[in-house]
Amino acid sequence: MNLNDKERWISGVGGGALVLAGLRRGGIIGVLSALAGGALVSRGLSGRCAVKARLAKTPHERLVAAERGWQTAAASSQRIVIQRPIHEVYAFCREFQNVAQFMQHIKRVDVVDERHSHWTIEAPLGRTLEWDTVVTEDVPDTRIAWESTPESPIRHTGSLNFSDVVGLGTEVQAIIAYEPPAGELGRIVAKLWGESPGVQARDDLLRLKRFLEAGQDHVTASEDGD
């Protein structure tokens, strides 16, 4: 149950009214109205809303926001197995200029030195956003972690973890989080439009797999459920 008493009451009353209006109207519009009303009544009776549950903050997002002191956080953890040796996968990902080859929204990454780089991404409405990133942890063939610098306009953190999968190749876990510029509203809108970190990380890992395996078309990625 993820609805309070007021939300359940509004759903029940509003849904009932919509059912009655639909039955009176008739026709395809009336049928659709009645079905929508029935869904609202069911929502009110059960006290559960699938859409609200999907948009709710995950435990991982609440933890990241608390640890970082952010107003809110959009975060996700995704995994995929790539049929390439671990040293090859790590080496490719460690060269941050390669990121633009598999991360859809990354326009370019300019490497400044071993730890610092400048990221440019494509934002909605044809805009671009830029920020500086620093590597916070680098363990060859094991883990790469980074975060935006304090003066950057975007608060962002991420990591890639690598592990051997006997007979299959390398498992890559991507953990991505950022503070939405528009706060909680921005986080919700991103999820509604499929632009949440979970969707982006999953798709980016699939592109990385295709790129490194050179020709694999049928691939799958899994979400950790954070």
pLDDT of residue 178: 78
**All structural domains of the chain:** 5-54 (no CATH), 57-223 (3.30.530.20)
Question: Using an 8 Å Cβ cutoff, are 102 and 207 in contact?
Answer: yes
Residue 137 neighbours by CB distance under 10 Å = 11
**Which pLDDT tens digits describe the chain residue by residue (226 residues)?**
444 565 554 555 666 676 677 667 665 455 555 555 665 556 555 655 444 444 445 666 677 667 666 777 777 788 999 999 999 999 999 999 998 888 877 889 999 999 999 999 876 556 788 889 999 999 999 999 999 898 887 788 888 999 999 888 999 999 888 776 644 444 444 443 445 555 677 888 999 999 999 844 444 445 565 5
- Rounded distance, CA 163 to CA 119, Å? 26
Q: What is the CA radius of gyration of the chain?
A: 22
- Rounded distance, CA 57 to CA 183, Å? 12
